[in-house]
Each structure stands twice: as structure tokens, then as C-alpha cells.
Amino acid sequence: MVEGLGWAGHNEVPVVVTYYQRGGGPSTGQPTRGGGQSDLLSSVFASHGEYPRIVLASGDHEEAFYDAIDAFNYAEMYQVPVIHLVDKFLANTIATIPMPNLDNVRITRGGALAPKGLKEYKRFDLSSSISPRAFLGEYVMWYTGDEHDEYGHINEDPINRVRMMNKRMSKLDVIDKEIPEERRYSYFGPERPDVLLVGWGGFVKGTAMKAIEELNEEGIKAGYYHIRMFIPFPRNSLTKFANEVGTANLIAVEHNYMAQAAKLAAMNTGIMINKSIVKYTGRPMYVHELVSAVKNVMRGGSTREVVSYGA
């Protein structure tokens, strides 16, 4: 029920939603199939109205370990809902991974805590984007699903409405400024590839990394641009890669019908990724079919390859 997500965004509640996607809807879709990536746009736009959120996606078990920690840190630091995307294959499998490096792991509860002993406490203080939080029981505070004033009381005055909306939405600027670009993406492959695959999530990462190995062995300089965060989006790095490679040599690789990440890339950067390789059978994309599809796109055979091996 996305009303709850909207309520959390409206009331600046730190909440983490781990969202593993099954083999595609609509409705129940293919509930027993390994996974898909068809809920990306739903995650970015879920619930009525506008409110700030963070959306990140894991590409393997190791990423999922660190992403889970970051998700809770971001939720508390910025007081926003955080949606952590994985797929059913990743969520329902076990893997041997390197021992996690805990040197750079930090648990951050957020620094905006209200001091004790205040004569009055404003849970939604307008003096900053991120208002000081108090623990339950320290102060009286009010939460409502309606627009509210600084104390939390319902208030639909238009001036108050604008101030509260601006306060909440300004968190996106803070988030964009504070979360480094290098946290939002990973790149694999040669320094200046001739063709760049753009994808995300565990359903694509492993296959794409193996595919670019085979393509490079055959003399095709291919790289893989792996999106790890959708809000905030890695617009600077993707723009840089697109300018170097050329938009004609960008290929979206996704497990959904619409190539949804490519649409978010266009929305955030203005870059149109007009070529895509997609699979939406609920089965994994295999290396050989991805390699074959890339070659076909590069030959000009098509701008959209729908692969279905194993269906």
C-alpha cells in the first residue's frame, strides 16, 4: 500500500523498504519466476503527490550488504523513505563473497537531534531542510496525513503549504550534494569503449560483465555502466561517458519491457538511449544471447532486441 510510503514522505519518517522484484506483473504476474526489473518506475514515482526519497539498487550479494547499511544511514540522515531494490534471484539465493571490509562501514543515526529542555519543540521546524528529531516521550509531537505546520497540526494555508513543500523537497538538493557521484554507479571495461552497455541490478550485472569480456576478446571494445542509485541519479558520470562514447553507441540492457532505466536517464540527463536489449520472461539473460544481441545492434540490424532464450 503506497499510501503508507506517501505518509512517511510527508511526515519525514526514516523508513527503509527492501523491494525484491519477481518475474514481472502486472497483477500477480509470474510469482514463482526468478525475477525482473519492471518495478523501477513504480519505485521512483510510487504514491500520490511529490516527496523526496532515495532509490538504490544492488547488483550482487556484496553490493547488497553495503547497500543495506547505506539505506538505513540515508533514511536517518535525511529523514526520507529509502527504497532498496533487489531482484528475486538475488534475494532467494546464497553466495560466497569476500569477507566484508568494515573499515569504511559507519552506522549513522543522523545528526539532527533535538536538544532536551526546549520550551517548545517543532518537529517540522522550517529553519532547515532536515528538522531536529526528538525521541518518542521527550516532547509532545503530532503527525497527520494532511498538510501541517511546524508543530504537526493540520494547516492548509497556502503560504504554509508552499513553505512546507519547499522544505521537504529541498532535501533532494542536500542529498544530491552530499552523496558522492562515485557511490551512484560503477564502471567495468576499457577506458574508452566503442560501445557502452547501460544497466542495473543483479539480473544484468553478472551477465553484462561476462559479455563485455567476450566482446573485448573478439576485438569489440565494450564497457558496462552499472547504475547503483536512481535517486540521486549519477547524471554527471553518465553524461561524461555518453559524450565520450557517443549516444549512438549506448545500449540499455534491462529485464523489463520499456527499458525503464533508459527513460530515467533521459529524464535526469536529457540523454536519449535509443537502443536497448530487453528480456521479460522471468528467466535470466544469458551471456551468449546478450553478446549476440549486442553484435546485431552494432551491425544496425535493430535498435531493440527482445531476447527470450530459455523461455
Q: Are residues 185 and 87 in the same domain?
A: no
Query: Mean pLDDT over residues 228-251, rounded?
Result: 98
Q: Are residues 86 and 189 in the same domain?
A: no
Q: Domain count for the chain, please give it.
A: 2
Q: For residue 152, what is the DSSP state?
A: S
What share of the chain in percent tops pLDDT 90? Answer: 85
Q: Is residue 265 part of a domain?
A: yes
Give the pLDDT band of residue 19 (cuts 50, 70, 90): very high
Q: Is residue 65 part of a domain?
A: yes
Boundary (domain end) residue, out of 91, 126, 143: 91
Q: How far apart are CA 98 and CA 109, in angstroms?
A: 27
Check which CATH number belongs to the domain holding 252 and give it. Answer: 3.40.50.920
pTM for the full model? Answer: 0.95
At 189-215, the pLDDT tens digits run 999 999 999 999 998 999 999 999 999
Would you state the pLDDT for residue 225? 98
Would you state the pLDDT for residue 311? 62
At 44-74, the pLDDT tens digits run 999 889 999 999 999 999 999 999 999 999 9
Q: pLDDT averaged over the chain?
A: 95
Boundary (domain end) residue, out of 46, 75, 91: 91
Q: Is residue 71 part of a domain?
A: yes
Q: Is residue 140 part of a domain?
A: no
Q: Are residues 291 and 185 in the same domain?
A: yes
Q: Is residue 23 part of a domain?
A: yes
Query: Where are the alpha helices (H) located in 57-201, listed in sequence order?
Result: 61-78, 88-91, 158-169, 171-178
At 135-147, the pLDDT tens digits run 888 999 999 999 9
Q: Is residue 24 part of a domain?
A: yes
Would you state the pLDDT for residue 163? 98
Q: Are residues 85 and 197 in the same domain?
A: no
Query: Mean pLDDT over residues 31-42, rounded?
Result: 88
Specify whether the backbone of 203 is left (phi greater than 0), alpha (psi in -120 to 50) or beta: alpha
- Centre a 10 Å sphere on the Cβ of residue 157 and count the other Cβ atoms it contains: 11
Q: Is residue 16 part of a domain?
A: yes
- Centre a 10 Å sphere on the Cβ of residue 26 and count the other Cβ atoms it contains: 6
Would you state the pLDDT for residue 230? 98
Would you state the pLDDT for residue 255? 95
Would you state the pLDDT for residue 109? 82
Query: Mean pLDDT over residues 25-42, rounded?
Result: 87
Boundary (domain end) residue, out of 56, 91, 126: 91
Check which CATH number belongs to the domain holding 19 and give it. Answer: 3.40.50.970
Whole-number Cα distances in Å, 257 to 25, 254, 311: 11, 8, 15
Domain extent at residue 30:
2-91
- Higher-confidence residue of 245 and 34: namely 245
Q: Are residues 290 and 188 in the same domain?
A: yes
Would you state the pLDDT for residue 164? 98
Would you state the pLDDT for residue 238? 98
What share of the chain in percent tops pLDDT 70? Answer: 100
Burial label, 83 (beta-carbon count in 10 A; 0-12, 13-18, 19+): buried
Query: Mean pLDDT over residues 16-31, rounded?
Result: 88
Would you state the pLDDT for residue 113? 86
Give yes or no for residue 36 having a pLDDT over 90.
Answer: no
Q: Is residue 6 part of a domain?
A: yes
